[in-house]
């Protein structure tokens, strides 16, 4: 999952994409749509890796997917609170956590609070003003 995400970063996939689902008290999701709500093309989906010991706590970064467990491609979400119900359990396959916000939670807090409404295929959680990811880069300590 990490390798998949880094490949998208290196290819420039995230430049100009938006946070297209913003749900205060839950998560912010982005990485796959343009400001005009067109889905960007992606590579093939990756296998689910949700049972890796990481959990959907506030600030964790996880892969978005459809109901198909092995459908994650480029879209990701950042949990804005602890969301244990997204973790794998005996009743759920869960969502793959692969990262943690280590700096910039103030920005996540601002994004989660933007006004939202209907847009594209989504009923009510699209920011009224696009929240654009200008670029994503790999930073080494």
pLDDT digits (tens, 9 = 90+) for 22-56: 999 999 999 999 999 999 999 999 999 999 999 99
pLDDT score of 120: 73
Closest CA to 135 of 15, 8, 23, 21: 15
User: In this model, does residue 140 exceed pLDDT 90?
Assistant: no
Query: Which pLDDT score is estimated for 110?
Result: 97
> What is the predicted pLDDT for the residue at 87?
98
Output the pLDDT for position 121: 72
Query: CB neighbours of 59 closer than 8 A, spacing ≥ 6?
Result: 78, 79, 100, 101, 105, 108
Please report the pLDDT score of residue 129 as a whole number.
95
pLDDT tens-digit series, residues 50-99? 999 999 999 999 999 999 999 999 999 999 999 999 999 999 999 999 99
Q: pLDDT tens digits for 95-126?
A: 999 999 999 999 999 999 999 998 877 678 99
Q: What is the pLDDT of residue 141?
A: 75
Kindly state the helix (H) or strand (E) to which residue 118 belongs, with its residue range.
Answer: strand 116-119
> What global pTM score does this model have?
0.95
Question: In Å, how far from its chain's centre is CA 29?
Answer: 4
Q: Count of residues for the chain? A: 141
């Amino acid at each position: 999952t990490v390798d998949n995400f880094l490949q998208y970063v290196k290819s420039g996939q995230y430049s100009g994409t938006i946070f297209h689902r913003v749900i205060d008290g839950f998560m912010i999701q982005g990485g796959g749509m343009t400001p005009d709500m067109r889905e960007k093309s992606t590579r093939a989906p990756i296998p689910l890796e949700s049972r890796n010991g990481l959990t959907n706590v506030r600030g964790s970064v996880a892969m978005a997917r459809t109901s198909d467990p092995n459908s994650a491609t480029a879209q990701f979400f950042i949990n804005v609170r602890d969301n244990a119900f997204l973790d794998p359990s005996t009743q759920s396959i869960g969502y793959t956590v692969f990262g943690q916000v280590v700096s910039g939670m103030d920005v996540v807090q601002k994004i989660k609070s933007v006004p939202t409404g209907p847009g594209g295929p989504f009923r009510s959680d699209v920011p009224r003003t696009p929240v654009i990811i200008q670029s994503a880069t790999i930073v080494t300590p």
